[in-house]
Structure 1
Amino acid sequence: MCHLLDTAAVARMVWRDVVAPGTQRWVAEQLGMSVEDAGRLVAFWAGLHDVGKLTPTFQRQVAIPDGYADAASDGDGRAHDQATHVWLASALAGLGYPSGRRSLARLVAELLGGHHGRFHRFEPRVLMPDALPLQGLGDGAWEQQRQAALAAAVSILRPPVPAASMRVSCAAVVSGVVILADWLASGTPYIKSRLAEVPQRGDGASLESFFAGSCAAAPELVRSSGLSRLNLQAGSFAEEFPDFEPNALQASIADRLGDIATGPGLLMVAAPTGFGKTEIALHAARRLSEIAGTSGLYVALPTMATADQMLRRVATYLARRGRDPAVTSLLHGMAWLMPVEATLAEVYQKAGISGDDQRWFSEWMRGAKRAMLAPVGVGTIDQALLSVLPTRHNALRMFALSGKTVIIDEVHAFSPYMRELLKTLLRWLGELRVPVVLLSATLPQGVARELAAAYLGPTTTAAPTDPVVPYPGWAYVQAEPPVAESARVTLPQTHRRTLTVSVQAIDRDSGGAPERMPALTTELEPLAERGGCAAVICTTVAETQRTYQALRQWSAHLPESQQPELVLLHSRFPAYRREDITAQVMRKFGKGDADDGVHPDRPARAILVASAIIEQSLDVDFDLVITDLAPIELLLQRAGRLQRHRQLDTSRPDWVCTAGTLDPRLVVLTMPERDVEAGRWPVTWPYIYPKATLIRAHRILNDRIGDGIRIPDDVQRLVDLGNPGDALPAHDPLLDGFDDTEVERIANTMVERQSAEVRSIPEPHRISSLGKLSEHEVDEEIVATRFNADSVRVLVCFETPDGQLRLGSPTGDGLPTPDPDGHFTRQQLATVMNHSIPVPGSLVRDAGEEYTLPSPWADNWALARLLLMRHRVTTNGEVLPAQLGQRVFDLDHELGLVTSTA
């Protein structure tokens, strides 16, 4: 009973100080009462969450008290959370709650029965009080005790009785409040602090006194966890970002958004890379939060690397504009390895904010489930998508998002599968009155219409529901009251340019791999002779490795003064190496301190060979970009890394100029026309991108030779040409002779979309029971937020002749040793994980037990899923790579993990 009162007191405080005002109003409106009364009612519900422990099954773990039947043979021994669900459906009806199959009593019973993160299937017999013994709950003294607990909760908490029901989506949010309150009140330090006040007898006066103590202790418990509301200073865009004048896009949104937005809505922004979309997103999110009553922020990025990069930018904004420091969390699968606390401390101290009382980091909020509860989160889109997949505690994630404004970047990078999951997420966010800002450099109009329609929902009266997002420009839609506005902006001449397109035909070798070197040596010869920086972007990791090796051999035959610095970046490096290389890339090719046209760390001549990971959110600049053929929107995104930083223009090499004027040139490697017409492609390319999109891009580019691509004028038309939608067109001249490839693309798109529909939870208007959120539950460690992109982390260890497993090299450190109790420190775990490498699951699908770590490492939660790739070291020092079936895995310090066929 004391734990229930503790939880009720914490829930009351969470409602008062954490739940966003807009969410409070939404819940209260559905329950037909004031915000204050709704908070009292939610606290009362939280105080009943463990009533299912008053059953024989639960009490048998210690002993059955005298006077209580054991009922060992009765029922099915339900867990206490399900017992809560079963009992409360009828018990609440006895308090005057509307009852029946779709009643409020049943819905509250469901949400409380889900306080361990899994909702239970509704059973009609839960509404039959006389069936309690058959359901394993016990009758007689058991029922008297449950009724006494309920009566005590009513007497002490004095909840109002709701006259109305609420939507299932609202119940999901309330369940998040209950789960959070239960977690906080269940912490061992808190329980120890309250033991001295536990009464010896459960009479009303003693319990009233205990609850008063709970209410007094709850504020500090909530505060110390880092839970709070984000509180930003109001102000104009210029006040928020005083270091530069707003450009046309930023000024347009800043000037008009406040006039048209009257409630939660969806803002879609489409503009070239490097055009300040992050700044306008933060400004718009703050404005929309004020209007909608949200009090938090989640910034979703496509990859872990881009999330790591964004953390510092968001923290810098918060340090400058926050009225009080707010806990900021980093959310992705490897976030616990990152020095988040040190990064935030550095940002805040640089802003002149220091002291132990400033709270921008919370140890309690480490871990994905708790981290989402922070007032500010920066992470991958996957962490948000988990809220619409049937994972345990998905409702808690939904609650965490319900009080925030959500920014989603790089929307164009989503596959059909991810886009379908995103539509489900947007539908739920629209239902929960969450403002959303979507950012894209190349957003097809068909995709924009789908996303807007998802957010507005099936019953909206807003017209049109398929707004056009001008390029460059923005569109805003809102369901209640209906709003649909858009604006195209005119960029100044300094932000307009014509991109020269060079299409270079390359052949394939005998194995079907692309032969890039003849084209690369021709294109890179001026760089070697006269200096400059170039990026070469390959389709697969293996191709980046082979291309890097070939360029290294080419460079070795050049005069020493002409040999360019070579850098290789892809995803299959150990985590610590990839982080180091990414930092090196940002230092060499990033903006740097180049206001005077001089970049002190920019090499005189350098070539970065990379996979597609550099096309997303990395602020890097190259004099020349050479790329494999890819969908047109991705090529335009890669072109955004071409002569990106205008302050470097005065120091660029002369070979990137034509008639004394800078000539930004994108070189695209593609197949000869005869191979395209014959359907002959490098063996890997169609596995990464649909043939139809490659053919479209190939023909679009060939059509632009001579005229170039005017940025931004031509961008939207080309993107839409390359992405005609998912309906089979009557005729597409870009696919003359290849209609079958479009049928194949649409079929594959349908498979991805249907797979997403099957795996995700139903949209809110199609759900009548919280149990639907937990149907076909999957483990979030293995659930797929990306289609056929299951990733497994492998750990390469060098096994010495004496059987020792070493990290990094044959002479590296051994695997860390746990303490006598079998526990590892966070630093020890981080050391191991920093040597792990992500690989596609398809490469290691047949790995057996011999590829798992031995004990004690395999017994740890963080290391248990690692696959061990043993590189055996012979007595004469030779290193033998690991082998799995016919595939060989060889870790090279310079190349990363190289896979080949035995």
Structure 2
Amino acid sequence: MDFAGSLPSWPSGLSAAARTVWAKHDFDSEGWLPLWRHMADSAAVAERLWDEWVPDRVRQLVAAAVPGGAGDARRMAVWLAAVHDIGKATPSFACQVEGLADAMRRAGLEMRLQKQMPDRRLAPHGLAGQMLLQEWLVERHDWGKQATLQLSVIVGGHHGIAPTHADIAELARHRSLLRTRGSEEAWRGVQHELLDTAAAVCGVRDRIADWRTMALPQSTQVLLTGLVIVADWIASNPELFPYFPGERGSDPERIETAWRGLDLPRPWVAVEPEAGPDGIFATRFDLPAGASPRPVQEAAVTMAREMAAPGLMVIEAPMGEGKTEAALAVAEIFASRSGAGGCFVALPTMATGNAMFPRLLDWLNHLPDARVETGAHSVFLAHSKAALNERFTELMGAGRRALAGIASDGGGDHWAHRGDAHAASAELVAHHWLRGRKKGMLSSFTVGTIDQLLFAGLKSRHLALRHLALAGKVVVIDEAHAYDTYMNAYLDRVLEWLGAYGVPVVVLSATLPAARRRELVRVYAAGDSSSASAESDAVFDSVREAQGYPLITTVAPGAAPRIAVPGASGRATSVRLERLDDDVERLADRLELELDGGGCALVVRNTVRRVLETAAVLRKRFGDAQVTVAHARFLDLDRSDNDARLLAEFGPPGKAADRGGMRPDKRIVVASQVVEQSLDVDFDLLVSDLAPVDLLLQRMGRLHRHQRGLGQCERPPRLRAARCLITGVDWDAPVPQPVRGSRAVYRTYPLLCSLAVLEPYLSHTSATGSTVRLPDDISPLVQHAYGDQVVAPPKWAEAMAEARTAHETHQAEQRYKADAFLLNRQARPGRALVGWVEAGVGDVEDSRGGKAQVRDSRESVEVLVAQRRADGTLATVPWLSPDRDGHARGGLALPTDAAPGARLARIVAACGLRLPPEFSDPRTLDAAIAELEADCFPAWQTKEAHWLAGELILVLDENRRRRLAGYELHYSRSDGLEVHRVR
């Protein structure tokens, strides 16, 4: 019989002993829940999740792995949810509540007192349940013991970590924790009775025999584990499923009331657009009348439709060419063909994630499936400061219920409900149950930092949830060139698992080395056993050897890679390169000359120290109003305002005016790398410290980015030809020597490679001239700089060889460090997940420390900044801009003997600041933390001040200064944080 429709009620004929076994207990109310009822609740929730929430793609993956296809997949998922807590029917668990344990003893289930079982820690109920399910499958259904592991490990891992072989062996030596000696048969009878009942009710009793010989891929085991965890979390919530013994099973009214209260948004059901590329881009992205998609956008849509099945697409195209829009258009096609129920966009930083979030929302509001009548979609901003993003918090606030129900990952947040007048008209919701570091990624549409994707390759607790979240989405990876060897180790492993799940992936980059392109395609294809990569890596040689730019590479399941070279869009810029000595006064002289007739110049430095030193000199020459500073060492609110101001003043023509800005007649912006990526700004002149060539080209992408009049006639006459002055180098040394700060950030070898490929453009005697043509020269320069043999002047040979050896040693060290917690590759089908995350990192935290697990960076301190006024009172810093509603945020008094109100606390929380590298030294770090903790306000560490509890508060004096761990700190709205060692 096909298993469809609601689960039948659990039989009331359970034995008296089975009905006494408990699963949940509330010490305050003394309410409790029988195990059989929690089993019934969990099964009913899993049924609803499978039918109404799990994306088609996930259902397809499980169905393809089990003998009976879709019917067996559904049965198996619901049954595993039903039996996941069978380990609670053991003395090691039941002894914890003496009153309930005593009732079980009276029913014949003898057990010792809790204090008499000091070894009960060896039998956590997940592992105990795994052992009981194994035994039941062997004794009742004639399974081989090894074969049982691929299902029983899902029960064993439902609390986030699959048991190890050592765990299993240790519990096997302590059988009395599963059944009390002298009462074994009574315990066995109840355990098997509950398992028999679950098998009958879930419709698997007659199917188990056919499952004996199946070999579940590990990817399928992971997805089932993730689904069981979600079902358990929902069924364990007493607001949804009240605690009371009762005699009826999970009747329709109980589950219907709970499911209606939860109100989980359904997954996206994408419908492939019938229109061609012109129609897609016109309707999804509001192209101006008469405008057409660019060739790379059109080619991406065409190739997506021509692929045999959705797979991996790598889009390489110049900066400002519309790669993001191309990726979203492809995502719609991939989702419609694969059954993906959402999309995740991964970006390098929180700032780029914040910038992308409204663009994703705008796209969603243009999708046919995002209309109100089809129901709301869940959206999530995935980084540690998402709750401070005003656009995201607006979505979170829509339809907030008064019921303080579903606790997020350890919190007590209210959930969103679309039942009131405001929420009923909303198409997109930030559902409150789908929040927190473990559940947020389960939302259908997510924008986040690349860390959120890399965490899927990190051995950590509840990793199955992250895999479940990704397996049902299309994944877009932006700025793929921006990651080092350490991060790429995690990215490669994640791509391999995504390939195993058949997750469609779109990778974007303007400056991707050919070797890296090949590796991305190879590792993704390696996850699919049907792929050509299973036979030979040689099939991917064409990917590395491909010529042309823009370039699109695809690989579909079971197929060899395909390459396309779209036509050029016609957008081109010729950038003349010049050397400039590393002397700030000389820089000021040159800018004075170049900006004599007005104009906007961008000066990019590789360290914040150089940014501030440069700005100080330029302000003396040009005045404070003419020099703007941008770097990462600003308060979060200030940095957000800085980005908005840059876009308003230097953004695309027309759009800048829409933001209330006007392009200055003359301005110098001195910035760090924050202007390199995902910031659509346009300058007349560029001065840049030497950087690896791909990043230097990214910076050039901010030069003459937009057309300003015919032939750039709206720019000052002297600046109508684009020029980039390269500095930060001792040009007079026998081998040009990058400055110390640049070497510390990028290492010497990539900088020398950059110099080597740029030498023909910088040499006054070069026959090739001094002009870099964008986009034509982007790919050749990148490929030469990252090729096996970089051609450099002969006199550089010794320095290049020495730098290369040091660089390769560093890369090897990064790979070795990454291996410590790197998830294993998927094993052969049938191999159980036992020990899957053994020796992992525990819980992953979306914090600076958590990110350090997937980035090769030293831990630093993040503080929240407030100011002590002259009268001794505390306040928010005075210069903060008003919020979106016009309410003031700066200069507000803060209580120190009580918890600040919610709004005040949020303002302080939005004034986060990461202390610079000087504080990463362990001794300095410890000293700084100790000094900051000594200044804490106890009232701010309470539950009422949850925005501030556990945070370090940096209190500046009335002059915005503070001494900390031997350093003098000074903060200004114009320059951000300055740090000097106290002498």
TM-score scaled by length of structure 1? 0.88
CA separation in 2, counterparts of 1:57 and 1:346? 43
Query: Aligned to 2:540, which of 459, 462, 465?
Result: 465
**1:167-186 alignment to 2 at 5 Å?**
167-186=217-236
CA separation in 2, counterparts of 1:143 and 1:346? 50
CA separation in 1, counterparts of 2:484 and 2:555? 26
Residue 69 (1) aligns with residue 106 (2) = no
CA separation in 1, counterparts of 2:617 and 2:394? 38
CA separation in 1, counterparts of 2:869 and 2:904? 21
**1:478-627 alignment to 2 at 5 Å?**
478=555, 480-492=557-569, 494-506=570-582, 515-527=583-595, 529-556=596-623, 565-593=626-654, 601-627=662-688
- Give the corresponding residue for 1:855: 938
Residue 775 (1) aligns with residue 819 (2) = no
- Give the corresponding residue for 2:441: 372
CA separation in 2, counterparts of 1:690 and 1:409? 24
The SS at the match of 1:786 is: coil
Query: Aligned to 2:782, which of 714, 719, 735?
Result: 719
Query: Aligned to 1:631, which of 673, 692, 695?
Result: 692
- Give the corresponding residue for 1:796: 865
Residue 4 (1) aligns with residue 68 (2) = no
Residue 226 (1) aligns with residue 265 (2) = yes
The SS at the match of 2:925 is: coil
Using the TM superposition, give the Cα deviation of residue 878 of structure 1 relative to its aligned residue in structure 2, in angstroms: 6.1
Two-structure CA RMSD over aligned residues (Å):
3.2
Using the TM superposition, give the Cα deviation of residue 439 of structure 1 relative to its aligned residue in structure 2, in angstroms: 0.1
Residue 743 (1) aligns with residue 826 (2) = no
Question: Per-residue displacement from partner, 1:775-794 (whole Å, max 9, x unpaired)?
Answer: 22244222322112534312
Residue 691 (1) aligns with residue 762 (2) = no
Residue 896 (1) aligns with residue 937 (2) = no
- Alpha carbons of structure 1 residues 250 and 318: separation in structure 2 relative to 1, 3 Å: same
Contact 1:503 1:667 in 2 (8 A): yes
- Give the corresponding residue for 1:430: 499
- Give the corresponding residue for 2:721: 663
- Alpha carbons of structure 1 residues 743 and 763: separation in structure 2 relative to 1, 3 Å: same
Query: Aligned to 1:21, which of 44, 56, 70?
Result: 56
Contact 1:631 1:693 in 2 (8 A): yes
- Alpha carbons of structure 1 residues 431 and 393: separation in structure 2 relative to 1, 3 Å: same
- Alpha carbons of structure 1 residues 707 and 545: separation in structure 2 relative to 1, 3 Å: closer
Contact 1:656 1:663 in 2 (8 A): yes
- Alpha carbons of structure 1 residues 37 and 735: separation in structure 2 relative to 1, 3 Å: farther
CA separation in 2, counterparts of 1:759 and 1:648? 54
CA separation in 2, counterparts of 1:717 and 1:856? 60
- Alpha carbons of structure 1 residues 79 and 817: separation in structure 2 relative to 1, 3 Å: farther
CA separation in 2, counterparts of 1:112 and 1:432? 21
Residue 675 (1) aligns with residue 728 (2) = no
State percent identity of aligned pairs: 27
CA separation in 1, counterparts of 2:659 and 2:160? 55
**1:26-37 alignment to 2 at 5 Å?**
26-37=61-72
Contact 2:580 2:726 in 1 (8 A): yes
Using the TM superposition, give the Cα deviation of residue 358 of structure 1 relative to its aligned residue in structure 2, in angstroms: 3.3
Query: Aligned to 2:485, which of 390, 394, 416?
Result: 416
- Give the corresponding residue for 1:833: 909
- Give the corresponding residue for 2:415: none
Query: Aligned to 1:238, which of 270, 278, 281?
Result: 278
- Give the corresponding residue for 2:145: 100
Aligned AA (1:703) = P
Task: Please list every run of 5 or more consecutive structure 2 residues that lacks an aligned counterpart in the other structure.
Answer: 1-35, 371-375, 399-420, 763-768, 880-889
Using the TM superposition, give the Cα deviation of residue 804 of structure 1 relative to its aligned residue in structure 2, in angstroms: 5.3
Contact 1:695 1:734 in 2 (8 A): no
- Alpha carbons of structure 1 residues 126 and 150: separation in structure 2 relative to 1, 3 Å: farther
- Give the corresponding residue for 1:307: 353
Question: Per-residue displacement from partner, 1:118-153 (whole Å, max 9, x unpaired)?
Answer: 222134856998953156888534443322321221
- Give the corresponding residue for 2:515: 446
- Alpha carbons of structure 1 residues 732 and 503: separation in structure 2 relative to 1, 3 Å: closer
- Alpha carbons of structure 1 residues 596 and 588: separation in structure 2 relative to 1, 3 Å: closer
Contact 1:692 1:735 in 2 (8 A): no
The SS at the match of 2:384 is: coil
Contact 2:730 2:737 in 1 (8 A): no
The SS at the match of 2:369 is: coil
Using the TM superposition, give the Cα deviation of residue 188 of structure 1 relative to its aligned residue in structure 2, in angstroms: 3.5
- Give the corresponding residue for 2:20: none
- Alpha carbons of structure 1 residues 730 and 285: separation in structure 2 relative to 1, 3 Å: same
- Give the corresponding residue for 2:882: none
The SS at the match of 1:846 is: helix
- Give the corresponding residue for 1:755: 817
CA separation in 1, counterparts of 2:553 and 2:476? 14
Aligned AA (1:761) = L
Using the TM superposition, give the Cα deviation of residue 846 of structure 1 relative to its aligned residue in structure 2, in angstroms: 2.4
Aligned AA (2:681) = V
- Alpha carbons of structure 1 residues 436 and 189: separation in structure 2 relative to 1, 3 Å: same
Residue 867 (1) aligns with residue 946 (2) = no
Using the TM superposition, give the Cα deviation of residue 590 of structure 1 relative to its aligned residue in structure 2, in angstroms: 1.1
- Give the corresponding residue for 2:310: 264
Aligned AA (1:857) = W
- Give the corresponding residue for 1:512: none
Aligned length: 853
Aligned AA (2:461) = R
- Give the corresponding residue for 2:463: 394
Using the TM superposition, give the Cα deviation of residue 827 of structure 1 relative to its aligned residue in structure 2, in angstroms: 3.6
- Alpha carbons of structure 1 residues 144 and 446: separation in structure 2 relative to 1, 3 Å: same
Contact 1:369 1:397 in 2 (8 A): yes
- Alpha carbons of structure 1 residues 730 and 443: separation in structure 2 relative to 1, 3 Å: closer
CA separation in 1, counterparts of 2:128 and 2:796? 61
Question: Per-residue displacement from partner, 1:241-269 (whole Å, max 9, x unpaired)?
Answer: 2113011111222223312x122311001
Using the TM superposition, give the Cα deviation of residue 383 of structure 1 relative to its aligned residue in structure 2, in angstroms: 0.8
Using the TM superposition, give the Cα deviation of residue 367 of structure 1 relative to its aligned residue in structure 2, in angstroms: 2.2
Using the TM superposition, give the Cα deviation of residue 621 of structure 1 relative to its aligned residue in structure 2, in angstroms: 0.8
Using the TM superposition, give the Cα deviation of residue 424 of structure 1 relative to its aligned residue in structure 2, in angstroms: 0.7
Aligned AA (1:713) = D
CA separation in 2, counterparts of 1:314 and 1:580? 20
Task: Please list every run of 5 or more consecutive structure 1 residues that lacks an aligned counterpart in the other structure.
Answer: 348-352, 507-514, 557-562
Contact 2:648 2:662 in 1 (8 A): yes
Aligned AA (1:675) = A
Question: Per-residue displacement from partner, 1:88-141 (whole Å, max 9, x unpaired)?
Answer: 23233344274333x2x2122222222222222134856998953156888534
**1:37-436 alignment to 2 at 5 Å?**
37-63=72-98, 64-66=101-103, 67=105, 68-71=109-112, 72=114, 73-74=116-117, 75-77=119-121, 78-96=123-141, 98-101=143-146, 103=147, 105-123=148-166, 132-134=175-177, 140=184, 141-159=186-204, 160-161=207-208, 162-163=211-212, 164-192=214-242, 200-201=246-247, 206-207=248-249, 210-214=250-254, 216-217=256-257, 219-221=259-261, 224-232=263-271, 234-235=273-274, 236-242=276-282, 243=287, 244-259=291-306, 261-324=307-370, 325-341=376-392, 356-361=424-429, 362-436=431-505
